[in-house]
Structure 1
């Protein structure tokens, strides 16, 4: 290792590309190991310097996220006769997914990786940024292979709505059709690249074969879609279908993708079960109790008719009602003990006979007048409505028609008394 004039020491080179170099580094302060992405200010191309400055600015603006490589700072260093512009990043020794792709043999592992990647992209998009270069090379393995982190924001840009043609950013074989055509680059474009990356994770090679201009023509101007390998589950195939729509308006957002069953079952593939037991509205019920009539229960009808007979008896008597237990056990008034003993009506025939009984016209010698009769009618009507409502709620289809007719007959009975 060579000594630096700064607070850290540069170690061995662990990566090299068109952007510059990536090296291991050790802090002089606490001995912590991290990664340093650098460009030689004297020899680098303007595009390399601009890319590094762009990445520094983007990472500084983003809030920390568990599935995005952590930004640790930036500086300039003088090493012998060379000056470097440096970006300090979290060090992940297990490398990128592209070099580990042959180890992804289980769909469960693929689910975990894709969930991490979609979560990271959703965070990026929510913060007004488009990554623009999603591919396996820019996805780093973390935590012993149990998760991944999104890296390399050199091509990223702040989210805008361009009204003119754009300069495409990223790697051609992962670009969305609209990006290849120079029309648009936004979150939807990242979702297309995500789909291509998932295929790359499955096959170990890009979703499109590299045939130069012919490949770009197929991506941008044909109706073709990347080939989804055989053997993947239906959930995975459907997930890829949501990503790889040539019409960007039909692609799912990252928030929607996180709710896709392929990712919802990434911990337990049995956890996502569609049931019909919780309808969203009344029309969702398939076997509703209101679609078919229940079997006619004669005993229930008789007990309800008995209750109606008691109400009709109130129309011909006055006095105090005593409530006991769950029903009416006795009504005392200006009636004989014999009639009081006949209070229970076990059959519909006896109930109808009571309903057809007309009250006698009386005068001031202890009997009711027409006005008193109608006052009692109002009370009885309210009680009838209450009982009918309870009965209808309990069994709306079987009994509604019957009790409506009974109610009309009682009202007609009292109306006839008033006319007389």
Structure 2
């Protein structure tokens, strides 16, 4: 159903086997080489705002596809958002708790779906499930990605569920811009009928120019890498011609390791001399040599 969305982990093959009176479901899924957002949080505590905006936009594009196909995920959280490829494209995974819109409207009393910290109020009080439960969970996730702390960080277990049901979410934090706070307010509405949809949130100012910002960050990194070459230590190559020594200074030649031959050209009076080296390593280790065509006596 979602195989054409680049923001949802695709299932290439599925089968069911029966072993020891238990049904075993085997799924062949896309490999997420960069782990999950939960891994990123464990490693870095919080993420750069440019990265958060990029991931948020990708997840919203995935949710838009899911919701427009009549499905509610019911378990959006950092651990279920996987990062694929070198560009770390965020993709939604794990549909083990999903329901259709029709099933969500007829949710049985006492049945709770989701992970406690990311559950919407209507999930806790056993009312009908709507796509807004995914939007609420996304709001909790975005808050955690920016601040490095869960929205309900001072509570566990039943205490979390009680806070979700009876308290308004508080997300005043110095790491949150005004746009980020407004975005979270649109996600974390206690009344699901006033909560924004995925399609509406994609046009929120918090996400505007997110792609441009991500590209700018990559460009700055490339420029930084290039400029770092200018600060490499100087190497000195010394040549001896007869009883005279000549030297030439070079920047660190590590970036040239892929080149098979290095040439050093210098002039003495009206004469031009060229020396070739089979590789840079020889240049780095050579301290005294003979210029081709000269007598080293």
TM-score calculated relative to the size of structure 2: 0.64
Shift of 1:227: 2.7
Cα distance in 2, alignment partners of residues 205 and 262 from structure 1: 20
Q: What's 1:134 paired with?
A: 76
Aligned partners of 2:147 and 2:176 also within 8 Å: no
Aligned residue in 2 for 1:21: none
RMSD: 2.5
Change over 3 Å in CA distance of 1:226–1:136 after alignment to 2: farther
Kept after mapping to 2: 8 A contact 1:168/1:179: yes
Task: Say which of 176, 199, 213 aligns to 2:158.
Answer: 213
The aligned counterpart of 1:116 is 58
Within the alignment, does 1:162 sit opposite 2:105 as a pair?
Answer: yes
Q: Work out whether residues 98 and 136 of structure 1, in 8 Å CA contact, stay in contact via their aligned partners in 2.
A: yes
- Does structure 2 conserve the Cα–Cα contact (< 8 Å) formed by 1:173 and 1:215? yes
Q: Report the 3-state secondary structure (helix = DSSP H, G, I; strand = E; otherwise coil) of the residue aligned with 2:210.
A: coil
C-alpha contact 1:196 1:206 (8 A) present in aligned 2: yes
- The CA deviation at 1:72 is 0.6
Listed as ranges, the matches of 1:8-407 within 5 Å are: 61-76=1-16, 84-101=24-41, 102-103=43-44, 105-160=47-102, 162=105, 165-166=108-109, 167-209=111-153, 210-222=155-167, 224-268=168-212
Gaps in structure 2 of 5+ consecutive residues: 214-297
Query: How many pairs are equivalent?
Result: 208
Cα deviation, residue 84, structure 1? 4.0
Cα displacement string for residues 316-346 of structure 1 (whole angstroms, at most 9, x for unaligned residues): xxxxxxxxxxxxxxxxxxxxxxxxxxxxxxx
Q: Helix, strand or coil: the match of 2:4?
A: coil
Q: Which moved more, 1:251-260 or 1:138-147?
A: 138-147
Does the 8 Å CA contact 1:199/1:228 hold for their aligned counterparts? Answer: no
Which of 1 and 2 has greater Rg? 1
Relative to structure 1, the CA distance from residue 87 to residue 190 in structure 2 (aligned partners, 3 Å threshold; closer, same or farther) is same
8 Å contact kept, 1:168–1:185: no
Instruction: Tell me, in whole angstroms, the C-alpha distance in 1 between the residues paired with 2:180 and 2:147.
Output: 14
Counterpart secondary structure, 1:259: coil
Equivalent position SS for 2:180: helix
CA distance 1:267–1:85, shift in 2 (3 Å): closer
Q: Offset of 1:168 from its aligned partner?
A: 1.9
Which position in structure 2 is the counterpart of 1:38? none
Following the alignment from structure 2 to structure 1, what is the Cα–Cα distance between the partners of residues 18 and 129? 37
**Using the alignment, how far apart are the partners of 2:141 and 2:69 within structure 1?**
22
Q: How many Å separate the matches in 2 of 1:220 and 1:74?
A: 38
User: d(CA) in 2 for partners of 1:85 and 1:245?
Assistant: 36
TM-score, with length taken from structure 1: 0.46
Over residues 11-45 of structure 1, what are the superposed CA-to-partner deviations in whole Å (9 max), with x where a residue is unaligned? xxxxxxxxxxxxxxxxxxxxxxxxxxxxxxxxxxx
Is there any run of 5+ residues in structure 1 with no aligned partner, and where?
1-60, 270-420
Give the Å deviation of 1:226.
4.0
Residue 261 of structure 1 deviates from its aligned partner by 1.3
Q: Secondary structure at the match of 1:72?
A: strand
